């Protein structure tokens, strides 16, 4: 019985240690609309699985889940699905990271035109 309780305690503690709190600052390049550039962010990482919530560029809360892939000693690729945007209920999420720097592809429909761009930012936290 003591072994089972110890195992349950380890699982609970591992789950509690997955939480990271971050703050990102971003700029939206190639897009026309006025976007939020400050993004508080909470994430749980277990192995290479990621899940979290953040305040997005449209001033809404987004939830996401996905995986991260270490590309080399500097770059990480994050792939997943995200909610909370006006255009669709669920969208693909792609983000390249190196240290605190990140870059993501972006798309908008603004005044009847489709625009493609990138979101470039810096994220701090632990």
Average pLDDT over residues 55-82: 97
The partner residues of 76 in beta bridges, in order of sequence, read 70, 97
Q: In 3-state terms, what secondary structure has residue 12?
A: helix
Supply the pLDDT for residue 49: 97
Alpha-carbon gap, residue 100 to 122, rounded angstroms? 5
Question: pLDDT value at position 102?
Answer: 98
Question: Mean pLDDT across the stretch 85-101?
Answer: 95
Residue 19 CB contacts under 8 Å (≥ 6 apart), including other chains:
42, 43, 44
Residue count of the chain: 126
Q: Tokens representing 110?
A: 């603004």
Amino acid 101: pLDDT: 97
Contacts of 97 (CB under 8 A, 6+ apart): 75, 76, 77, 78, 123
pLDDT at 75 over 70: yes
* pLDDT for the residue numbered 9: 52
Kindly tell me the burial class for residue 12, based on how many C-beta atoms sit within 10 Å of its own C-beta (0-12, 13-18, 19 or more): exposed
Of 14 and 34, the one with more pLDDT: 34
The whole-number pLDDT of residue 126 equals 85
Local structure of 126: helix, strand or coil: coil
pLDDT at residue 17 in the model: 80
């Amino acid at each position: 019985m003591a072994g089972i309780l110890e195992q349950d305690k380890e699982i609970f503690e591992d789950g509690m240690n997955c939480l990271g709190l971050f703050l990102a600052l971003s700029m939206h390049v190639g897009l026309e609309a006025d976007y939020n550039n400050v993004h508080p962010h909470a994430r749980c990482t277990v192995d290479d699985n990621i899940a979290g919530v953040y305040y997005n560029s449209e001033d809404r809360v987004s939830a996401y889940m996905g995986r991260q892939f270490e590309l080399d000693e500097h770059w990480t690729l994050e792939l997943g699905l995200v909610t909370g945007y006006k255009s669709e209920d669920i969208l693909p999420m792609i983000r390249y990271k190196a240290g605190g720097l990140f870059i993501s592809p972006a798309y908008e429909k603004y005044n009847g035109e489709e625009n493609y761009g990138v979101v470039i930012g810096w994220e701090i936290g632990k």
